[in-house]
Structure 1
Amino acid sequence: MKGTVESLIKKLGLDISSEQRQYLGFLFENLHLEELSDKEQHFFVEYFYKSEALRKMAAFALELADVMHEIRENVPTIEQAERLANGKEQRLYYEQKRQETRRQKLKQQTAKNGNVLYVPFNDYKQERGPFIICLEQTAGMAKYSELCKSMILPLFLNAHQEQRDLYIVPYDCQIHVHYRFENGHLNLSDFKDFIEYQAKGEAAMLPVLQFVKGLLQENQHCTETDVIIFTEGDPVDGPYLLGKHAKTMLEEMKQRYHAEFSVIAMNEHRFNEHHFWFANKAIFADDAIQ
């Protein structure tokens, strides 16, 4: 990987410091850029050279290695009591656990008529659902924007390794755009737009949750969808999340579409846990910001 990065820098004749080379190497690894064409790799390196925001995000990502390791090891959410020390062993353990659960389900749903067995293989072959990242992009979140995006970068690697789609949904009081990265593969145009995207105003949760429900309906053949919400912690429509309509919608998302919700809140003091009652867990970024 290092040789590829150095070769590209030399070929393009760019004046990049050793520190920036380290950032670029991180991006190549986590965004699996070796799969892009030579032309696309050239474009990315040149974009990195010109984009101060992307360089800052890569720097944040390296500085927050411990925080991001925690995120990567805990998404999808796992039971604390069953965590294993070694990440590779842990992933193998949970994959075996999922396979055993599927085998048991297949056995239970197999019907017998005389000497004929009816086996629901379509259910057995269900794929794991996507990662859906809901990224609050408001006036209040502006100072955290680069930090949040830096935390999202390693999730491309998770999606790619697990062959799961990665959706990024920026939001304020509504949804203006969203990005889909199929099986975690990088689309340079969408990635560039994601890095540069900014919105203003206040945040509302119901519109983004309704949008997420639409994505879940498109992927209803899948299981274990992970929804990760980056937020300042107190949406303007928070009280409505306690209403009957919102609770019914969220319970359906959790039960019918197997969605698990994680919240990464920028400020623990502003975080209203009652409004995020549906979250399986919350992570506070206060320590990382300081």
Structure 2
Amino acid sequence: MKDAVESLIEKFDLEFTPEQRDFLRFLYENLHLEELSDKEQSFFIDYFYKSETLRNMAAFALELADIMREICELIPAIEKAERLTNGKEQRLYNERKWQIARRQKLSRQTIKKGNILYVPFEEYKEETGPIIICLEQTTGMAAYSELCKSIILPLFMNAHREQRDLYIVPYDCQIHVHYRFENGHLNLSDFKGFIEYKAKGEAAILPVLHFVKGLLQENQHCTEADIIIFTEGTPIDGQHLVGKQAKALLEEMKRKYHAEFSVIAMHEHNFNEQQFWFANKAFFADDAIQ
């Protein structure tokens, strides 16, 4: 019995090697291509057929899939152990803060007409925040661009499964463009823009952090937001991350918007632990690069 990918390949009458079929199957599963219209699926498959970059990304992602699955399984176990060891007080504090925020929101949206209170209880439910990916796109990162983008591909599945918005923010010294994928659903125009985006120059980290704060303000009632920073590890303004203004900015994002930061650095020896003090987790791509 033919699977969906084989049926699509036959439908659009294109020649693919067995390896390319595996790459396309990986993308089909992670990007939920079945949700696209026939016209959109045709566009995507034709783009995959013509885009060496997208095929290389799929190859990287497929190769890294087992490693990433292990990480996804291992990290929650480590975090749970840490919470059981010393995190009870912090967890209770965060839960109290969220309860207060929800009660305030409910109070603001409750309307009294006569002797009747109209209470929008649906607004009281917890809302999971966005996944925001800050992707350094500079001269120094050019060699790692496809690798980084391949790591991002499975995050579409996570966002889709958890019904979370996925933002991708390429950056150098400033922000030129950003892409939003609502609830992890594929937008072909933005996806193509993300695949093909390139920049030159050096990276500054503070502009992208301010930009991220603006995105969080649009999602200010969320219970949590995940911010993932891809970096070569040496932003030109990295020393400012330990300054008072940057610390206040980052601590506000953690406190007010329940933000958790992860950093994916290309080389461990470039990573400055003091500058990235705010990261909850740090991963190093050295092994993957080799």
Both proteins in one fold, TM over 0.5: yes
Q: Which residue is equivalent to 1:17?
A: 17
Aligned equivalent of 1:88 = none
Q: Which moved more, 1:74-83 or 1:55-64?
A: 74-83
Alpha-carbon spacing, 1:53–1:214, altered in 2? closer, same or farther (3 Å): same
Separation in structure 1 between the aligned mates of residue 75 and residue 219 of structure 2, nearest angstrom: 19
Q: How many angstroms apart in 1 are the aligned matches of 2:122 and 2:243? A: 36
User: Aligned-residue CA RMSD in angstroms?
Assistant: 2.9
The amino acid that maps onto 2:286 is D
Name which of structure 1's ranges 124-133 and 208-217 shifts more when overlaid on structure 2: 124-133
Asked whether the 8 Å contact 1:233–1:267 carries over to 2, the reply is yes
CA distance in 2, matches of 1:202, 1:77: 37
Percent identity between matched residues is: 75
Name the counterpart of 1:91.
none
Query: Residues 2 and 25 of structure 1 are in contact (CA less than 8 Å); yes or no, is this contact kept in structure 2?
Result: no
Which letter maps to 2:129? G
The residue aligned with 1:272 is: 272
Note the C-alpha offset of 1:11.
1.9
| Matched residue, 2:164 | 164
Checking the alignment, whether the CA contact within 8 Å between 1:61 and 1:68 is kept in structure 2 is no
Q: Distance in 2 between matches of 1:18 and 1:196?
A: 25
Displacement of 1:105? 3.9
Bigger CA drift: 7-16 or 144-153? 7-16
Secondary structure of the corresponding residue to residue 236 of structure 1 = coil
Q: Classify 1:168/1:70 alpha carbon distance in 2 versus 1 (closer, same or farther; 3 Å).
A: farther
Q: Which residue of 2 aligns with 1:130?
A: 130
1:253 aligns to what?
253
Which position in structure 2 is the counterpart of 1:281?
281
SS in 1 for 2:271: coil
* Superposition deviation, residue 126 in structure 1: 3.0
Could you tell me which residue of structure 1 aligns to residue 50 of structure 2? Answer: 50
Q: C-alpha separation between the residues in 2 aligned to 1:26 and 1:269? A: 32
Q: For this pair of structures, how many residues does the alignment match?
A: 269
- C-alpha separation in 2, matches of 1:2 and 1:286: 39
Change (3 A) 1:198 1:73: farther
Distance in 1 between residues matched to 2:81 and 2:2, nearest whole Å: 38
1:10-89 matched pairs, under 5 angstroms:
10-73=10-73, 79-81=79-81
- Any idea what SS the aligned residue of 2:249 has? helix
Q: TM-score, normalised by structure 2?
A: 0.85
1:38 CA drift (Å): 0.8
What is the CA–CA distance in structure 2 between the aligned matches of 1:76 and 1:123, rounded to whole Å? 28
Residues 119/277 of structure 1: CA separation in 2 closer, same or farther (3 Å cut) = farther
Map Cα deviations across residues 234-280 of structure 1 (whole Å, 9 max, x no partner).
Answer: 11101111111111010000000100000011110011111101101
Residue 154 of structure 1 is matched in structure 2 by 154
CA distance in 2, matches of 1:75, 1:34: 30
- Is the alpha carbon distance of 1:50 and 1:63 closer, same or farther for their aligned partners in structure 2, counting shifts above 3 Å? same
Residue type of the alignment partner of 1:3: D
Inter-CA distance 182–73: structure 2 relative to 1 (3 Å threshold)? farther
Q: Corresponding residue for 1:206?
A: 206
Show CA shifts across 1:189-241 (max 9, x none). 10001001010100100000000000000110112100000111111101111
Q: Deviations over 1:43-94 (max 9, x none)?
A: 10110000000000000011111332145447889715179xxxxxxxxxxx
Q: For 2:127, what is the secondary structure of its paired residue?
A: coil
Q: Aligned with 1:15: secondary structure?
A: coil
Paired residues of 1:72 and 1:155 also in contact (CA < 8 A)? no
Q: Distance in 1 between matches of 2:223 and 2:35?
A: 27
SS of residue in 2 equivalent to 1:204: coil
Instruction: Check the 8 A contact 1:77/1:280 in 2, yes or no.
Output: no
Range with bigger deviation, 202-211 or 64-73: 64-73
Amino acid at match of 1:8: L
The change in CA–CA distance for 1:238 and 1:78 in structure 2 (over 3 A counts) is same
Question: Cα gap change, 1:159/1:78 in structure 2, threshold over 3 Å: closer, same or farther?
Answer: farther
1:187 maps to what in 2?
A: 187
Distance 1:26 1:80, change over 3 A: same
Provide the secondary structure at the position in 2 that maps to 1:14. Answer: coil
Superposed displacement of residue 124, structure 1: 3.5
Q: Return the alpha-carbon distance in structure 1 between the equivalents of residues 194 and 218 of structure 2.
A: 22
Change (3 A) 1:173 1:74: farther
